[in-house]
Amino acid sequence: MKLPFQIDLSDKVIVVTGGTGILAGQFVDALAACGAKVAILARRLTIAEAKAAEVAKNGGIAIGVAGDVVNKESLKAAHDVIREKLGPVDILINAAGGNHPGGTTTNDYLFAEDVQEKHDDTVTFFDLDPQGIQFVFNLNFLGTLLPSQEFASDMINRPGATIINISSMNAFTPLTKIPAYSAAKAAVSNFTQWLAVHMSKVGIRVNAIAPGFFLTGQNEKLLINQDGSYTERSEKILRNTPMDRFGEAQDLIGTLLYLVSNEASGFVNGVVIPVDGAFSAYSGV
């Protein structure tokens, strides 16, 4: 891949959770291209190993590791494998996350008739599924906290140790329809700040990236019609994104490398950086 700039990550061991996703997969490629030894953590080992093989084919160093970010025992087992094959962890990228239909409403707004004339195909605020909401919170918030607990134990007083979390525009201003995801990402941003302070005396920096709107496998059906045209939701997003386009995975790489590099951002700690085409800066008028 083409890097926006080069940094030296030789001999650094980096764990990327959710490293087989569209955006996190690009993180893996960029970090490996800078010389890092990358552990790709995913629930399905075969997919993680396939991504690692792709990295190796391009001249990088990577291993695929099975790991569930909401299961402490699974993370401990993954950590043992990483230590054995690559060594102690220097950097953690918490990129695992996602949404669930059980935490999503059908419409932007609640109207009285939605309750008075209940339709089976309409999910209102009152119909949100506690299990779906819990799934979203566990995956996004606990799925950031638990890997940080597990892997940061290696990082204490290691030069250049850093944790990078993935927040979202939802953390700044909640989007309609997805209250669970918005709240969970707000928790990730808050936790990023808390952990940065907590870890400041042992040399571990903690920051986050908050992507704007990027087309991924998870949101493609919400944003693109079957004929390839934009959905109504996409049109709303683009009207409120001054750069008038969706982000591409490559747009995140410069911020990632900046935050990973102790030389570039060694005094940057506890920040959440939007990469959103000015979405968060635009008032709509």
Residues that are catalytic: 181
Q: Is 209 helix (H, G, I), strand (E, B) or coil?
A: strand
Q: Who's near 60: CB < 8 A, 6+ residues apart? A: 29, 32, 33, 38
Report the alpha-carbon angle 77-96-239, nearest 5.
180
Nearest residue to 144 (alpha-carbon basis) of 206, 96, 176 = 96
Nearest residue to 97 (alpha-carbon basis) of 35, 203, 20, 173 = 20
DSSP state letter for 246: -
Structure tokens at 35: 């010389």
Torsion angle in degrees (nearest 10) through CA of 256, 5, 216, 181: 20
Report the alpha-carbon angle 46-101-177, nearest 5.
130
Token look-up 């918490």 returns 94
Look at phi and psi of residue 85 and say left if phi exceeds 0, alpha if psi is from -120 to 50, else beta: alpha
Q: Say how far apart CA 176 and CA 179 lie, in whole Å.
A: 7
